[in-house]
Chain A
């Protein structure tokens, strides 16, 4: 029998009894053929591969990351708590050194879920990776973490959550926002005042193939990671860059995903999107599993794989080379850029409109970040939705100084009574309030 070079934990939870709606891409059938492939290949019998059931995330795990309006119980289902719990279990197994690496094959996905949650957007309600990471930080201390999002859609939720946190480097590779949902993820979106430069977007042109993805990986992502030196690397492993995906326009392959994973070498990967459930997922997931376990994946191929057809056009290659240079230079110059961007200001406001496509909700919000020279600074969100909510939410970041903690509690206590809901996240003491 085959032996894995890296001990690999797999949380495989296909939630065969849960769907957004019967014909929705996020439905019961999604991981059925992946399960068939994993079973038929005998992955469970590989020495060094261990399967885990998810644990169930707690309400507090959600409140640590999100402001759910009106509250967790009304919006978040058991399926979401299990999906996040699956990711938590995966990273716990790594932290406990039961395994070297782990892959959480869970659904529903989470990377479009932002700090404020009124409902479902981009098939996501809670941010699975962020819920996982913040729970692990509470259990194991303040780790320096890089999240590399390889889903085809911009990870706007993860970006929002870690916008002002330089202990969490977020890098998203995705199809250019001018051509795909959610329409964000441009290189100018570079992070909040306390973490400017630690939010890196690499918007790729439609038609990007193996060559392009691996070029960006080798010339931008890996050099940045080498400089950032994270304790943990998380891969938001969306699989919709695949050439057969029905919702996107890229030309990535199972071989490409496996190679990417081998080179990125993440400690934990969490499944995000990917809706070519028959033609891509069984092969991409197999490729990722083998690559993570350090097993030869060179024989993993899609049935209709055609190397010639999937070759990346020259103009795309040239475009990606230029883009990579710009992104990498911005990372190198992030300190100068920060000084220019936030000169002589004490607060930075970030006004946005957020559309919840899955649930059809429109939100307008203003985030307000205090610039504090002792910590990341207390920050707030004032948000309204077209469902009649008008909320005020305060976050005391993990590294907050005593002044910012006090200020956070004062803001909560003195919040105007015209808000329908007021929330406080005290991440220093791991306490969460709402009224």
Chain B
């Protein structure tokens, strides 16, 4: 049996899945003051009555890192940044102390000017004075040559015992220096709080005699094992929406281009599938003011849900983006879409234990609102649902336009590149059943919703598998091959071919997935990008410049 737990802002959802069936679900409130305690209580209740030794794995989606960042409960971080020539760099000062050092590496990984040891010694003195224990070292183009980052890390670790150092090149193989700086900073800043949480989990599991492996959910819809999460806690941020998406996919599998919606009380999350595979953020997810390099499922949240407040302004109805309380029917301050649904008798009275008074109040809300537009209560309610459909449709169209105009760099892609053309809509959340026919009409697409949507996120968490991505860079004129995410920098022969490189990339990405705790049979490795350029200097070809991306994409445990 597999345990899935998704810790959200309001609730913790849990499921036990056995042989592809959900055998138990729970929902518990989250205590923001004690996240570990919340999760542990939920886990204990979920497991009560079941045999601990039958657990195959525990998949956990947590908001520990996210909350720490959003609520600014971060450890102080000392940053050593080598900006080199280029953009102004003062905007990169994200740490508690920021030391900008001289020297630089160019785009091909040549060290044009080495770093100055004296500057590092001064930085260490400063960090010691301020009693800072977490650091990040980031140089421009470090993914092309990490040697400066590695050397500085060694110096830091020698001089300051028990320190934690994040090196920029280990974060991602993507080129984007400012994001590398921010992501490295965040990784060091959440390291302490996240590891405290992990240690609590580990200790408690031990006490209970549970020795099943624990996996932590990432924002890309995949998982990683504990030992990886210890080093890259920043990867755990914003895994909640990813869990929901994986849950929708588990309950409504498809191989088509699709729109996925999670409609809640306050917000609607929008996702897309391309041939059944979730779409990613092009560079990485944004958290608070930080744009990062963390691979993440593309999701956009809009302020529209069952409890959004509704008003009429200049003859037009406005729904959301605020939620100002429970629906009017339940004593809330403002009319809401839920009131519209009650008025139209679209909500199962028994299931929601609606009293006569609730229905009366909902009707009253619609009547009052309708008066402003000369509409009956029922017509007003219909207009509200139709407007919700319009809001979602307009946003989805806007996002699709943006996604389908993402920059491409080859003639082939521009002329024949994949464009997302959704064939269906899958929705979860309270208002799914009511909104499905509305959305079907607006989009002119079939719209599906599962029966048991309320723990979709926990199901998604339970069934998520390890995912990983690597970026390979080969320069046959310099005879080098590198994979920054794995810290791999090795010599190759001058006649290295693209086929060889691809074979190696697949092998490495599989190995990387294994090290994240994947089992061999569940790894589906694939090459997602490949290019090879002839490097010509003067009139001679001096080598090839190859760039390859390989991944184990998010998928579900069968």
**Residues of A participating in the B interface, judged by any CB pair closer than 8 Å:** 1-2, 12-18, 22-23, 27-29, 32-33, 35-37, 39-42, 44-45, 51-54, 56, 78-79, 82, 246, 278, 282-283, 286, 290, 295-296, 299-301, 303
Q: A17-B411, A23-B541, A53-B405 are in contact. Are A303 and B106 (CB under 8 A)?
A: yes
Chain B residues closer than 8 Å to A17, beta-carbon distance: 410-412
**Known interface pairs A29-B536, A53-B405. Does A16 touch B531 (Cβ–Cβ under 8 Å)?**
yes
On whether A40 and B533 interact (CB within 8 A), knowing A18-B411, A45-B291, A286-B86, the answer reads: no
Asked if B489 CB lies within 8 Å of chain A CBs, one says: no
The residues of B that contact A56 with a CB separation of less than 8 Å are 414-415
B135–chain A nearest beta-carbon distance, Å: 22
- Find out whether the CB atom of A78 lies under 8 angstroms from the CB atom of B411: yes
Are B534 and A44 interface neighbours, CB within 8 A? Answer: no
Cβ-neighbour of B411 out of A45, A79, A301 (below 8 A): A79
How far is the CB of B483 from the nearest CB of chain A, in Å? 17
Known: A22-B534, A37-B107, A41-B177. 18 other contacts (CB 8 A): A1-B91, A2-B88, A13-B409, A16-B533, A27-B534, A29-B536, A33-B107, A35-B409, A40-B107, A40-B140, A41-B87, A42-B176, A44-B176, A45-B283, A53-B405, A53-B406, A299-B85, A300-B85
Which A-chain residue is minimally distant from B410 (CB atoms)? A17
* B110 interfacial contact with A, CB 8 Å: yes
Q: Which residue of A lies closest to B544 (CB)?
A: A29
Our count of residue pairs bridging A and B at CB distance below 8 angstroms stands at 112
The reply to whether A82 and B88 contact each other, CB–CB distance below 8 Å, is no
> B289 — which chain A residues lie within 8 A by C-beta?
1
Q: Give chain B interface residues in 36-95, CB to chain A under 8 Å.
A: 85-89, 91
Contact of B178 with A by CB under 8 A: yes
What's the least CB distance linking A41 to chain B, in Å? 5
Verify if B520 is at the interface (C-beta below 8 Å from A).
no
B312 contacts the other chain (CB 8 A): no
Q: Report the bound CA distance from A40 to B176 in whole Å.
A: 4
For A303, give its contact among B87, B110, B174, B409 (CB under 8 Å).
B110
Across the A-B interface, give the 8 residue pairs with the lowest CB-CB distance, nearest first.
A39-B175, A42-B178, A301-B85, A17-B410, A40-B175, A36-B107, A29-B533, A303-B112
> B539 within 8 Å of A by Cβ?
yes
B128 contacts chain A at the CB level, 8 A cutoff? no
Check if B545 sits within 8 Å of A29, measured CB to CB: yes
**A92 CB to nearest chain B CB (Å):** 14
- Asked if A296 and B291 sit within 8 Å, CB to CB, the answer is no
CB < 8 Å neighbour of B539 from A23, A41, A44:
A23
Do residues A14 and B409 form an inter-chain contact, with CB atoms below 8 A? yes
Write the B171-189 contact mask toward A (1 if CB under 8 angstroms, else 0): 0001111110000000000
Q: In the complex, which residues 167-207 of chain B have their Cβ closer than 8 Å to any Cβ of chain A?
A: 174-179
Interface residues, chain B, with chain A CB atoms under 8 Å away: 85-89, 91, 106-108, 110, 112, 140-141, 174-179, 283, 289, 291, 405-412, 414-415, 531, 533-536, 538-541, 545
Interchain CB contact (< 8 A) of A15 among B141, B174, B411:
B411
Q: Output the least CB separation between B125 and chain A (Å).
A: 27
B140, B178, B539 — which one has the most chain A CB atoms within 10 A of its CB?
B178
Least Cβ–Cβ distance between B470 and chain A, in angstroms: 17
A309 to B174, CA, bound (A): 36
A36 touches B414 (CB 8 A): no
In the complex, A79 Cα to B409 Cα: how many Å?
A: 12
A79 to B413 CA separation, bound complex (whole angstroms)? 12
23 contacts between A and B (CB under 8 A): A1-B91, A1-B178, A16-B531, A18-B411, A22-B534, A23-B541, A27-B534, A29-B535, A36-B107, A37-B86, A39-B174, A40-B107, A40-B176, A45-B283, A45-B291, A52-B407, A53-B407, A53-B408, A82-B414, A246-B538, A295-B87, A296-B88, A299-B89
Closest to A304 in B: B112
Complex contacts, B533 vs chain A, CB 8 Å: 16, 28-29, 32
